[in-house]
Amino acid sequence: MILLRFAFYRLLTMLMTLLLVSALIFMIINLPPGDYLSNQIEELRATGQTNSVAKAEFLRHEYALDRPIIEQYFIWIGAIPGPHGFSGLLQGDFGWSFEFDQPVADIVGQALWLTVLVNLAAVLFVYLVALPLGVIAAARSKTWVDYTSAFVGYLGLATPNFLLALILFYYGHRYFNLPIGGLMAPEFEGEPMSFDKMKSILLHLIIPTFVIGTSGAAAMMQRLRANMLDELSKPYVETARAKGVPPAKLLAKYPLRVALNPFVADIGNLLPSMISGSVLVSVVLGLQTIGPALLAALKSQDQFLAGFILLFVALLTLIGTMISDVLLMLLDPRIRYGARK
């Protein structure tokens, strides 16, 4: 009951936060002077293309870009009627991309689930690598195991993702015959999901997962190692050892459970940070994610496309934070009792 009440409260908080974030995103995108169409109008007037200027002016009116910023925002989210009535995010209309000259929904449709797939695979890689290595490094502190894991961790933190992508891009194909570029073979693009298409996607995921997840795994491994060493030095661990508790049971039942709190709390930041940090990797590896579209939209001030993608990343952050809060309540009795009080 407490957990359900807490989850409901966090859901309401998440919706209010998302509304505030959407307003901040829209205002920040519109901070530079002008927009895509007004910049285009200036270029057309400079070159004397008056016919195209009339078309651009018509589009500015059609998408309410000639109205005040506050009014544009409420039309964008669908809270007030625009030139075509109530037609915004709340009604499932994501807007029009002037850069790509097509609806935003058509651009991000397949890219969204591919982005989530790539980054979920990277998050899974981070936890599968960081959890055992961090625990082993702490349990074997000041041995060759600890020094080796520390060296690997620092190497992962110091190597830029795009450089690691280029290295694996070449050697992965040359020595392991891994596919180059994209997230699936060209013949499967636009086709319905099948076993062969899923197999192609999984093969193409190997390099992006390793590249995107390496730095996150290295940082999380070092953090878990530090937390474990702090817990292993506390008196209750010495007491458990003196009572003859087996080492494996001692690690799993007491220090690891406490040290996992920051590990679980990182879920909220890990997924969105990977999405934002994988933009350059997506360009280098030619991945069909929202990264290249976001980069193009920000450069050209394509506000509807950039706004939707940034709002999607913010939504992932809030969902991840909510999941981490619920897991922390399940993991740590002190948080449950604090919520009850």
Cα(71)–Cα(53) distance, integer angstroms: 24
Give the mean pLDDT of 316-323.
82
pLDDT given at position 335:
63
pTM attached to this predicted model: 0.79
SS3 call for 80: coil
Contact between 223 and 263 under an 8 Å Cβ cutoff? The reply is yes
What does the pLDDT read at residue 256?
79
CA distances to 134, 153, 269 from 144, in Å: 14, 14, 32
DSSP 8-class letter at 89: G
Dihedral, 315, 283, 157, 224 alpha carbons, nearest 10: 30
For 114-143, the pLDDT digits (tens) are 888 888 888 888 888 888 888 888 888 888
24-58 tens-digit pLDDT = 999 888 888 777 888 777 777 777 776 777 777 88
The chain-wide mean pLDDT, for the chain, equals: 80
Query: Taking each helix axis from N to C terminus, what angle separates 2-29 and 333-340, rounded to the nearest 10 degrees?
Result: 90
CA–CA separation, 138 vs 52, rounded Å? 66
Model pLDDT, residue 20: 92
Domains in the chain and their CATH numbers?
A: 104-340 (1.10.3720.10)
Contact 230, 136 (CB under 8 A): no
Kindly tell me the burial class for residue 237, based on how many C-beta atoms sit within 10 Å of its own C-beta (0-12, 13-18, 19 or more). middle
Mean pLDDT lowest among 66-75, 198-207, 215-224, 251-260? 251-260
- In the three-class reduction of DSSP (H, G, I as helix; E, B as strand; rest coil), residue 85 is classed as strand
